[in-house]
Structure 1
Amino acid sequence: MLHNDRRDDALGELARFRHELYGCLTARADALFELCDAVLCADGPVTSLVELSLAAEHRRGHGALYDGVNQGQVDVDRLRNVVVSQSIPRCFGGRIVLGIDVSNWLRPDAVTSPDRLFCHTYARGKGKAQMIPGWPYSFVAVLERGRTSWTAILDARRVGPDDEGTAVAAAQLRVVVEQLIAAGHWKDGDPRIWIVGDSGYDGPRLVFLLADLPVDLLVRLRSDRVLAFPPPPRGPATVGRTLRHGEDFTFSKPWSWPEPAHETTTETSRYGTAVARSWYRLHPRLTRRGEWAGHEGDLPIIEGTVIRLQVDRLPGDGAPTPLWLWFSGTGTDAEMVDQVWQMFLRRFDLEHTFRFLKQTLGWTKPRLRTPATADRWTWLLIAACTQLRLTRSVVEDLRRPWEKTPTTPDRLTPARVRRGFRNTRPATTLPASAPKPSRPGPGRPPGSRNTRKAPHHNPGKNTKTDTTAKDPKKQTG
């Protein structure tokens, strides 16, 4: 009886989400909604957009499918509110942990598509990275505790030619955190929200921009960084300018490290023995360059906790190297230090989400021309991932004959849940109306040529900003 009640609650939550999703589709709603269902119910990975029109769940033709993608409208703000208002996973002590990262939709041959940037992509072998034109998307997702391929995507924003990465991340995180508070997921007295990012994010800058929100930031630092301790106490007879920085802490020079505030040892099954050392109140020496070039007044001192993580082994044949982390919290104890580096490892679960979006749901398969169409398709897939997450506890595992024994619902991967979504769909709401009979338009007359060629767009940034201060006396903080 308890199992049936739990199933009914999950199906009810799924039905409410699907009804609200349909309300967020303000133009070509029926075609877009059935396209989302076709993505969820297609047999096997999505390899082509037009092939989805052959799915039984998509009752319209391929013309209506492309018309919905190209001419439909999605109320993104409303849909984001609907996605955020759903149940989300929690970590240590009910804490919400957000992961932020960028995934690229590569479009090297789309010369008629505007707003493309040069995206950094990795290749096999050392030093084989390339810069390929495409659309970079910044994703924000809620991370779960423990090794899993599940994340709850809450927002996605395309980075344009006039955007700066840290400013886009700060604005995106502010919107998500404020909506989490408005949805009742966080209230006064709850643990502060953690935000986890890789080394591409300027941690101190994000802390400065989000200082009025209940968040702590965790980012990875390069191994060649140099931070500073607070200056020593000023004596009563000391004259001259007050010092702003103390002794240097050089990552590559162990003799510059004082005794750590905490040192913990954890046995793991994947990495062997993990030793974490932490030092308090370390800050970078900010300069009036980049985003700090136009800062008025003295540059701030943004202190945090530095954590050095060393493990015995890595998966594969890779040699273990120390991992350096910077956490904006300064009053961490040994238990929280362990929680911090363990949650940073969960950031890599976003890579499973990106792989699922691209390889299974076909996020980058359509050859769409305009960025607005790409944004619309991206949010449809976010809605699809949310439905899979809501169905996770009730879907029946459809095991292939060559696969292992059936998996419990809490261990199903997103791909396995998608495989059984087709059987769960009839038990929930179907708000899309039946298609009306129609005939296709005449199209271009036979023998005529297209005289209005699409303009070509060069990839890259459109504007250049002044990255240095004009007054050389104000170069350092």
Structure 2
Amino acid sequence: MHHGRGTGASGELSGLRQEFYRCLPRRADALFELTDAILCADGPVRSVAELSLAGEHRRGHGSGYAALARGRVDASRLRTALTAVSLPRAADGRLVLAVDVTCWLRPEAHTCPQRILCHTYGRGKDQHMMVPGWPYSVVVALEAGRGSWTAPLDAVRLAPGDVAADVTARQIRDVVGRLTAAGHWKPGDPEILLVADAGYDGPRLAHVLADLPVTVLVRMRSDRVLRRPVPPQPPGTMGRPRRHGGEFAFGDPNTWGTPDITIETTTRLYGPALIRAWDRLHPRLTHRIAWASHDGALPILDGTVIRLEVECLPSGAIPKPVWLWHSRTGLDQHEVDIAWQAFLRRFDIEHTFRMLKQTLGWTTPKLRSPEAADRWTWLLITACTQLRLARDLTEDLRRPWEKPRPLQRLSPARVRRGFRNLRPQLACPARVPKPSRPGPGRPAGTPNHQPATRHDVHTVTSTNTQKPKHREKTQSSDPRPRRTG
């Protein structure tokens, strides 16, 4: 059927499936077939019980929820297995990682523990809302070019009391360690590029991960104020030396000066683009928030500021300029060009979140325990990895109204359509189910005398309890205060 193409990819995919089965110490057969049902079901996943109707799922409709509730996934071993397979790379051959937080919202699940107020946007009309749920920090590897493919490598649920910045730093450190152990990065290779959005403290990440071969690229808010290097001190000057030079205010073009690098190009999606870069700029840090426990003098974290300005968005709207902070100094024009293009690829992680939620049904099950939610999350991440490895092996079963595409341009959803035809050629270690009969359950008409415990919603930090500071009416026309930290 496939005329021998992709033999190596088929062996790699079968090897991953066998290792995935070995990562399931308890209820392995039910969990493995539940993952296959996710990959082979017709249309989006609407219910865990309905997955039992797929031919690849040979067990009863209650086995799925039972396996998620009482099964077990060796997450540490599975992380190693997902990192050991082939990974996408950027155009220059380097690994590009993206990190972001996505939420499994559970607003009415009062019996679910460890729920946290999650920031959401768009549930009301242009409103930011805090909704209870389980937030997950996800790390993926990005590939070059426009597309909707990423390689999920890790997912960590944020528990009550966790600091997202500390969790992200530990997560990236573990991922880079596994990438190095798997041979994806060796001394002499280009540094791994970590791309994140404005919700992350880029200088803090760069400082914590300074001992790793990682370069940090983050978007900064348009009201930030950075500092230039200290100019040479004139001879005979008395007093304490200055630590910070002049201001570089993103909102004040008079403070920018002449950029060190200017690039004018035309993008296929955004039209003409103007990229300008200024070298050796750093934030003025203070002993608060993430730096409150720092001993001694605060570091000077110099980097390169990149301003990306495009003419229009695909929707026709006029976009705002994007400010980026690169943790390395002395960049040349080629490195600046790679940086802003890598940041645009960061948005591919949103396609992965949409695939997980809308097609694979990540937030569909009404699971009570967060441990069961973690198991379901790892099943879907493994399913995404299998789809990526099957890109060269499946046929394009396109709908009559869809345009033909080459195999490398197929979306994850279109690759999933052909996975059912590919599955018989792959390793399927799950055993045949044994005959059994369901238990008696609670007799009909008998009330439940052991209701589930109800749990309160946790807040991430104590700042949510502070009273908002109301500004005077005479200051209502003042601009937004500048962020210097």
- Structure 2 length-normalised TM: 0.93
Cα gap change, 1:68/1:126 in structure 2, threshold over 3 Å: closer, same or farther?
closer
| Unaligned 5+ runs, structure 1 | 466-475
Q: Which moved more, 1:148-157 or 1:231-240?
A: 231-240
Aligned residues of 2:139 and 2:155 also touching (Cα < 8 A): yes
Q: Which range moves more in the overlay, 50-59 or 451-460?
A: 451-460
The superposition leaves residues 138-195 of structure 1 with CA deviations (integer Å, 9 ceiling, x where unpaired) of 1100001111000000000111111011111101100000100000000000000000
Counterpart position of 2:433: 435
User: Map of 1:122-271 to 2, 5 A cutoff?
Assistant: 122-123=121-122, 127-271=126-270
1:387-426 equivalent positions in 2, closer than 5 A: 387-404=386-403, 406-426=404-424
Contact 2:163 2:460 in 1 (8 A): no
Q: Under a length normalisation based on structure 1, what TM-score does the superposition of the two structures give?
A: 0.95
Q: Which residue of 2 aligns with 1:471?
A: none
Aligned-partner Cα distance in 2 for 1:5–1:415: 24
SS in 2 for 1:93: coil
Aligned counterparts of 2:57 and 2:295: Cα–Cα separation in 1: 56
Identity %: 60
SS at match of 1:62: coil
Instruction: Tell me which residue corresponds to 2:477.
Output: none
Quote the residue 1:472 is aligned against.
Answer: none
Q: Deviations over 1:183-234 (max 9, x none)?
A: 0000000000000000000011111111110000000001100000111112
Report the more deviating stretch, 4-13 or 56-65: 4-13
**Distance in 2 of aligned mates of 1:122 and 1:347:** 19
How far off its partner does 1:94 sit? Answer: 0.8
Cα contact 2:149–2:348 (8 A) shared by 1:
yes
1: CA distance, partners of 2:460 / 2:100: 23
Q: Which residue does the alignment assign to 2:13?
A: 14
CA displacement at 1:462 relative to structure 2? 6.9
Give the residue type in structure 2 aligned to 1:111.
H
Who is 2:294 aligned against? 295
After TM superposition, give the deviation of residue 126 of structure 1 in Å: 6.5
Deviation at 1:339, TM superposition (A): 0.9
The CA distance in 1 between the partners of 2:220 and 2:21, in whole Å, is: 43
Aligned-residue offset at 1:125: 7.5
Structure 2 residue 351 is matched with structure 1 residue 352: yes
Aligned residues: 466
Q: List gaps (5 residues or longer) in structure 2.
A: 464-483
Q: Which amino acid aligns with 1:441?
A: G
Q: What is the Cα-based RMSD across aligned positions, in Å? A: 1.7
* C-alpha distance 124-363 of structure 1, shift in aligned 2 (>3 A): closer
Q: How far does residue 460 in structure 1 lie from its aligned partner after superposition?
A: 2.2
Instruction: State the shift of 1:5 in Å.
Output: 5.1
Q: Amino acid of the residue matched to residue 29 of structure 1?
A: A
Give CA-to-partner distance per residue, 1:339-385, whole Å, 9 cap, x none: 10011000001111111111100000001011000000000000000
Q: What is residue 468 of structure 1 aligned with on the other side? A: none
- How far apart are the structure 2 equivalents of 1:15 and 1:376? 21
Match of 1:470 in 2: none
The answer (yes or no) to whether the contact 2:116–2:460 under 8 Å persists in 1 is no
Say whether 1:459 aligns with 2:457.
yes
C-alpha separation in 2, matches of 1:205 and 1:5 = 49
**3-state DSSP of counterpart to 1:199:** coil
- The Cα of 1:446 is off from its aligned counterpart by 2.9
The residue type equivalent to 1:291 in the other structure is A
